[in-house]
A and B are shown apart, each in its own frame.
Chain A
Amino acid sequence: MFEIAEGPNRELILSGRFDASQTAKAKSVFMSLSEGKIVDFAKLDYISSAGLGILLAAQKRLSERGESLKLINVNSHIRDVFRFSGFDTIFDIA
């Protein structure tokens, strides 16, 4: 199960498992962003390259407007995935 919700400060809260079977829901949210966002990973248990691809596409699109995604509360397993992918240098991970 994968969910995306908007938090009280308009941040995006991801929860569950962001795998290749869940990309349609995520794509519709991330590709409609017109401004930078904080994305809270505290409740996200898992991400694969399918999820990374959507985050990358959103980050590239936002960067053309001088905006970006900022990722917070990223667990150690997901942090490893970002590091192995070189995504730790193209995302602001707090």
Chain B
Amino acid sequence: MSATFGRDILALPEVFEFMGRFFATAAVDAQLRFAAELSVEEVFTNFVKYNAGGRDGIGICLRLDRDKLSISLSDYDAPRFDITSDAQEPDIDLPLAQRTPGGLGLHLVKKMMDRVDYRHENGVGTVQLSKAVS
């Protein structure tokens, strides 16, 4: 199941509605659904924030196989930014006074999904996420 969304944080309710339609017919537990929704939001907002001038929308594709949920997010007309290696990891052990929210989103994606891959081809950045179905 796939769709393309406007490059705007305010498109998130539409993204979640799309995911809700997918999960309505997919037998996955609440924990996997939560991880999927959070991961999609974090990657989607990363695309919006760091490629605000991109001309086209952001594509999302969801697929459920017998043992694995696969999610693909495509940022068209995007510069290369490999979220698996170019994003700075936050120090989650810092005391409150030194904590900043920067980098938390992609850190959470890596924690909550089993696999996070990135590729950049012909101006399209694609993040591929997957997690086992328990």
Contact = CB atoms under 8 A, between A and B. Distances in A.
B60 to A, nearest CB: 15
Tell me the interface secondary structure of chain B in the complex: helix
Given A20-B45, A53-B101, A53-B104, A81 B96 contact: no
A63 B99 CA distance: 13
A20 to B, nearest CB: 5
A77 interface: yes
A85 to B, nearest CB: 6
A56 B16 CA distance: 25
A48 interface: yes
Interface of B: 9-10, 12-13, 16, 30-31, 34, 37-38, 41-42, 45, 90, 92-97, 99-101, 104-105, 107-108, 111-112
A48 B44 CA distance: 12
Interface in A4-44: 17, 19-21
A76 B112 CA distance: 13
